[in-house]
């Protein structure tokens, strides 16, 4: 629709609502027929003299009315009468991220492993599996294959600690593994302890299945033992969820002395521990794992999403002795079980050595991008790590975390504000945002850094709103 331009000179109310109403009217009059592509948000914003955010909100309102459908990379199209909207409407359980990112957005709210040529390797292994196991592909998985357990053992091994295959449960990613552990060792109403800042999707998921969330304070070395001790004495949590290596989002690596202190408190109060090692697998030097310090109470979780390929959905959990069958049952009850193709693919990636080779290339790519971030954002305060796929950006006055996230979105960059990582309500304010730079092409990451730099250098731009 290169010659179409809506007239916004008439009407009242917010500009984005008037734009949505005008587009709806033109759809109704046939000016915009079924299948017509609406202009890209940036182009229409320029032609109308408004912000991209105004156009984005208008397009979002049209999606909610069932009038258009948007697909990342393809654009926004007018739907026919009775045609279902293919894009889901965001719901509150999903956190602060929109389920409909919109077109022309740079997704810097994801930390999946960057593209380093995985597809050809995964494609070849997948072809081998389908050719060798045609019967297994079309059937249910009754029990994990020995190779799947061996792969988990190999992938989760850190330093001197090597889990036994009989402690391994293969899962569809780390998130599913952690939820299975929570379901296996806690009951509705039990309290689960999380850092105040953490991978909050687990906290929300636990809350969804009836567990109560309590928050632990933290400092520059990670989880605060003193606050953990206080919490255990007063709140009696059944389980604590920890990210001791490359913490998400603060990038803290918990020192060994702190790990030992946390373990002793957990033993004293009989608290189960979940050690999320998804990001720790990117570290060149592996600190002693909590599972090595407290094997009798620690569930050690790892996977391939940050190091190999998120789309494979591969994860493993190493359980304390005799707990694997219980976690396996809980996992199957929650998810319906594992697909043969994905678990066999994950095992072959690991046992063939391809996963390690990909991890090395991913690590090298992340180092280049982290260096690029330090160059493009020089002079601004942020935490980063040469092997991590994100940075934790400190905002100067007058920025608030949520305000900066919205301003970045208006500039076409999707990032996460601090609320995305809060395990619960807290008076603590960090004035930070997380910027992921791994799951989009390197040139787009560079573009994203430049757009964020422009906002940081010109804070008044964040107040430009016609909505």
pLDDT in tens, 138-170: 999 999 999 999 999 999 999 899 999 999 999
10 Å CB burial of residue 92 (0-12, 13-18, 19+) is exposed
Q: Quick one: tokens of 290?
A: 């909590």
Task: List C-alpha distances in Å: 172 to 301, 305, 341, 442.
Answer: 12, 10, 11, 28
Q: Say which residues have a Cβ less than 8 Å from residue 49's Cβ, sequence separation at least 6.
A: none
Helix (H) or strand (E) holding 88: none
Helix (H) or strand (E) holding 250: none
pLDDT for residue 90: 41
Sketch out the chain's domains with CATH numbers.
15-103 (1.10.10.10), 118-355 (3.40.640.10), 360-463 (3.90.1150.10)
Helix (H) or strand (E) holding 412: none
Average confidence (pLDDT) over 248-260: 97
Q: Quick one: tokens of 423?
A: 């395990």
Q: What are phi and psi of 121, to 5 degrees?
A: -65, -45
Q: Which of 70, 112, 105 is nearest to 88 (CA)?
A: 70
Buried b (16+ CB within 10 A) or exposed e, 97-106: bbebbbbebb
Q: What is the mean pLDDT of the chain?
A: 90
Q: Say which residues have a Cβ less than 8 Å from residue 322's Cβ, sequence separation at least 6.
A: none
Rounded Cα–Cα distance for residues 65 and 85 (Å): 9
pLDDT score of 12 more than 90: no
Strand segments, DSSP code E, in 55-119 are 68-71, 75-78, 106-107
Rounded Cα–Cα distance for residues 311 and 144 (Å): 20
pTM of the model: 0.79
Average confidence (pLDDT) over 235-264: 97
pLDDT tens-digit profile of 399-427? 999 999 999 999 999 999 999 999 988 88
């Amino acid at each position: 629709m290169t010659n179409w331009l809506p007239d916004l000179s008439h009407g009242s109310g917010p500009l984005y609502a008037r734009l949505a109403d005008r587009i709806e009217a033109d759809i109704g009059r046939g000016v915009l027929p079924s299948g017509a592509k609406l202009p890209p948000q940036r182009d229409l914003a320029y032609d109308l003299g408004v912000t991209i955010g105004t156009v984005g909100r208008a397009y979002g309102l049209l999606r909610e009315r069932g009038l258009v459908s948007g697909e990342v990379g393809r654009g926004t199209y007018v739907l026919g009468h009775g045609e279902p909207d293919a894009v889901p409407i965001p719901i509150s359980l999903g956190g602060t991220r929109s389920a409909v990112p919109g077109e022309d957005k740079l997704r810097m709210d994801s930390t999946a492993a960057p593209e380093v040529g995985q597809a050809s390797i995964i494609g070849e292994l997948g072809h081998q599996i389908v050719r060798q196991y045609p019967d297994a592909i079309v059937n249910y998985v009754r029990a994990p294959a020995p190779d799947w357990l061996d792969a988990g053992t190999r992938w989760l091994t850190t330093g001197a600690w090597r889990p036994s295959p009989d402690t391994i449960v293969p899962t569809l990613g780390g998130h599913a593994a952690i939820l299975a552990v929570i379901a296996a060792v806690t009951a509705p109403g039990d309290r689960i302890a999380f850092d105040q800042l953490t991978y909050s999707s687990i906290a929300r998921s636990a809350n969804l299945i009836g567990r109560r969330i309590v928050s632990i304070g933290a400092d520059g070395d990670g989880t605060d033992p003193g606050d953990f001790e206080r919490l255990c004495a007063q709140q009696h949590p059944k389980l604590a969820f920890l990210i001791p290596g490359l913490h998400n989002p603060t990038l803290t690596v918990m020192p060994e002395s702190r790990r030992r202190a946390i373990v002793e408190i957990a033993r004293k109060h009989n608290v189960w521990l979940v050690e999320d090692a998804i990001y720790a697998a990117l570290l060149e030097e592996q600190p002693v794992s909590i599972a090595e310090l407290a094997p009798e109470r620690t569930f050690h979780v790892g996977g391939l999403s940050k190091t190999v390929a998120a789309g494979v959905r591969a994860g493993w959990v190493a359980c304390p002795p005799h707990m694997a069958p219980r976690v396996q049952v809980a996992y199957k009850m929650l998810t319906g079980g594992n697909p043969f193709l994905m678990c066999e693919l994950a095992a072959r990636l690991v046992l063939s050595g391809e996963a390690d080779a990909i991890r090395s290339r991913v690590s090298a790519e992340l180092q280049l991008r982290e260096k690029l971030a330090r160059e493009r954002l020089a002079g601004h305060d942020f935490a980063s790590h040469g092997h991590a796929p994100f940075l934790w950006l400190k905002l100067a006055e007058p920025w608030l975390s949520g305000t900066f996230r919205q301003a970045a979105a208006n500039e076409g960059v999707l990032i996460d504000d601090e609320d995305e990582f809060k395990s619960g309500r807290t008076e603590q304010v960090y004035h930070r945002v997380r910027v992921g730079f791994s799951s989009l092409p390197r040139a787009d990451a560079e573009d994203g850094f430049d757009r964020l730099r422009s906002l940081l250098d010109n804070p008044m731009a964040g107040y430009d709103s016609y909505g």
